[in-house]
Amino acid sequence: MTSEKLAGPNVNSLRGFEVIDKIKYLLEEECPITVSCADILVMAARDAVQLRGGPRWEVLLGRKDSLESSFSGANLFIPAPNSSLEVLIENFKQQGLDIQDLVTLSGSHTIGRAKCLNFRQRIYEAKEEYHHGYDHYKRYTNFRRILQSICPIEGRDNKFAPLDLQTPKRFDNQYFINILGGNGLLGSDNVLITQDLDGQITEHVWAYASNEKLFFASFAKSMIKMGNINVLTGDEGEIRRNCRFVNA
């Protein structure tokens, strides 16, 4: 079985699995075969957001773990960092998520980091959608220089930069303020504004940039919605003893 961790969007990218392993070990010591790895991931995501200053929401529990790994699904459905807006919308639509969910969940980029390999194209290619076609106050120019100092045109592929340079360790609405100024780290961040021809997405971005409470409330709803995608329950799946393997 080829792990989803080895899929293109995940390999050498996702981290923190040892935290899930530790949680699972402690739970198995106290309550064997009771709490699934899927439920642990959902609760850990919620708690991580709250610990960084974000909202808290009630998590629905009772998921089972899959009996297989979807390497091809991870490659197919996880958006690339240089995705166009059209591709992003279609990816989310295939999972039952709408445009508001896309904008809202993109706000998770207010925390976390990305590797140079994932944003080099965004800072060295002079594409219209990367810098709005104007830079009157040199804000984007300064931002790009900072990123270029972190990520040269060649080499240092694994060097990290925060997804939100302004408040990198706090879950807030700064991400939306950033992309309104063309200062999203990833190309897929900035296309929310630059490729939004009818203004519907930009309207959501402005709303969240000006009202953090609105963003927090919407984020909680979208996270619950995303947490209910393709859930296994009842006789489907299993509760794994070790999150890295199916039960023997």
Domain ranges of the chain: 4-227
- Confidence bin at 136 (pLDDT 50/70/90): very low
Residue among 226, 225, 236, 248 at smallest CA distance from 78: 226
How many angstroms separate the CA atoms of 100 and 192, rounded? 11
Q: What pLDDT shows up at residue 65?
A: 97
Query: What's residue 4's pLDDT?
Result: 87
Confidence tier at 223 by pLDDT (50, 70, 90): very high
Q: Is 79 annotated as a binding residue?
A: yes
Q: What is the pTM of this model?
A: 0.90
**Residue found by looking up tokens 């009818």 in the block:** 198
pLDDT given at position 137: 46
204 annotated ligand-binding residue = no
121-125, 151-155, 197-201: the lowest-pLDDT one: 121-125
Burial class (CB in 10 A: 0-12, 13-18, 19+), 161: buried
Model pLDDT, residue 128: 55
The secondary element (H helix, E strand) that includes residue 115 is: strand 113-115
Is 193:205 a contact under the CB 8 Å cutoff? yes
Would the pLDDT of 135 be above 70? no
Which of 43-50's residues contact partners 24+ apart within 8 Å by CB, and which partners?
44/19, 44/20, 45/223, 46/223, 49/108, 49/111, 49/171, 49/219, 49/223
The answer to whether residue 132 scores a pLDDT higher than 70 is no
Residue 217 in contact with residue 207, Cβ under 8 Å? no
Cα-Cα-Cα-Cα dihedral sign, residues 196, 171, 90, 4: positive
CATH code matching the domain that covers 4-227, chosen among 3.10.20.600, 1.10.420.10, 1.10.10.60, 3.90.1150.10 = 1.10.420.10
Report residue 134's pLDDT band, with 50, 70 and 90 as the boundaries. Answer: very low
Q: Please report the pLDDT score of residue 3 as a whole number.
A: 85
Annotation-wise, does 2 bind a ligand?
A: no
Whole-number mean pLDDT of the chain?
91
**Exposure of 213 in the CB half-sphere (CA atoms within 13 A):** 0
Mean pLDDT of 100-111: 98
Is residue 109 annotated as involved in ligand binding? Answer: yes
Nearest to 223 by CA among 85, 141, 106, 105: 105
Q: DSSP class of residue 198?
A: S
Please compute the mean of the pLDDT values over residues 199-228 and round it to a whole number. Answer: 97
Lowest mean pLDDT among 13-17, 55-59, 106-110: 13-17
4 is in an annotated binding site: yes
pLDDT at 7: 85
Summarize the confidence of residues 179-203 as an average pLDDT: 93
What's the pLDDT at 72? 87
Q: How far apart are CA 88 and CA 230, in angstroms?
A: 19
Cβ neighbour number for residue 157 with a 10 Å cutoff: 13
Average pLDDT over residues 21-48: 97
